[in-house]
Amino acid sequence: MSLAEMNTPDLIGVLLGFALTLMAFSYVLGDNALFRLTIHLFIGVSAGYAAVVAWYSVVFPRLILPLINGTQSERLFVLFPLALSGLLIFKATPRLSRLGNPAVAYLVGVGVATIIGGAVMGTIFPQVMASINLFDLDAARQTGSSLPMQLVQALFILVGTLTTLIYFHFGARQKLGAVPRRPEWMEVLALIGQIFIAITFGVIFAGVFVASMTALIGRVYFITDFILRLFPGL
């Protein structure tokens, strides 16, 4: 479809996307006003979108509606988050910012508890169970997997897990007049753990790089497609 065949909203969207893409790519030439304008627009649109989602998904259905149409118990229940929300407003004033500390403390506490709970229940326990299940040779026989390869994989993951944990063990005996050092065998295991950590960071970096290159290829394809639509004879 050429640009002439597009309706007005689609044409405006394509033109804005093309202009903003070029403005973002202008950072290759150095920091400039066009790039900063693009970043400001992106942050503004993201903040506006987050505010709209928060209003229609949290504030209006869970706070405003219970206060208007809720029962007596529902209205009493929402008074606590309403009071905390009111205290947060005082954080905008230096003189009264202390009044907002209880609300901030509550948010930080709930956030930390959620993160720790999610890490333990969603990451640590599943990884421990997955490592243990690798040594279940009966399950490997039922699935037809190669038992030697299953055992090698299980030992490899077990060694990587233990040596990585040992690397972060910084306890050492204090000797009089000497620098605290871990035992030699622990230093060797910590070195192996450091190798596993380096491999992990390399894999993560490769994944981020591939994702970035995918986004870059998508933008370059968009620019090329726009130019071909603008000049069909090319």
Q: Going from the first residue of the chain to its last (234 residues), give the mean pLDDT of each consecutive group of 10, the final group possibly shorter.
A: 69 83 87 91 94 91 86 85 87 86 91 92 84 75 73 86 85 63 82 93 94 90 82 68
pLDDT of residue 2: 61
Domain check: are 193 and 223 in the same one?
yes
Q: Which domain holds residue 191?
A: 134-172+180-234
Count of the separate structural domains present in the chain? 3
- Give the residue from 106, 124, 142 where a domain finishes: 124
Phi then psi for 43, rounded to 5 degrees? -65, -40
Residue 15 and residue 26 in contact, taking contact as beta carbons nearer than 8 Å: no
Task: Please name the residue that has the structure tokens 């509606």.
Answer: 65
Domain check: are 82 and 165 in the same one?
no
pLDDT of residue 174: 61
pLDDT of residue 178: 62
Domain check: are 44 and 113 in the same one?
no
pLDDT of residue 230: 74
Listed in sequence order, the DSSP H helices in the chain are: 8-25, 33-54, 65-69, 72-89, 101-119, 125-133, 137-143, 147-167, 184-230
Please, what is the Cα angle at 232 between 216 and 14, to 5 degrees?
A: 45
* Coil, strand or helix at 91: helix
pLDDT of residue 123: 84
Phi then psi for 193, rounded to 5 degrees? -65, -35
Task: Please name the residue that has the structure tokens 């060797």.
Answer: 188
Domain check: are 112 and 151 in the same one?
no
Q: Could you tell me the pTM of the whole model?
A: 0.63
Cβ neighbour number for residue 140 with a 10 Å cutoff: 19
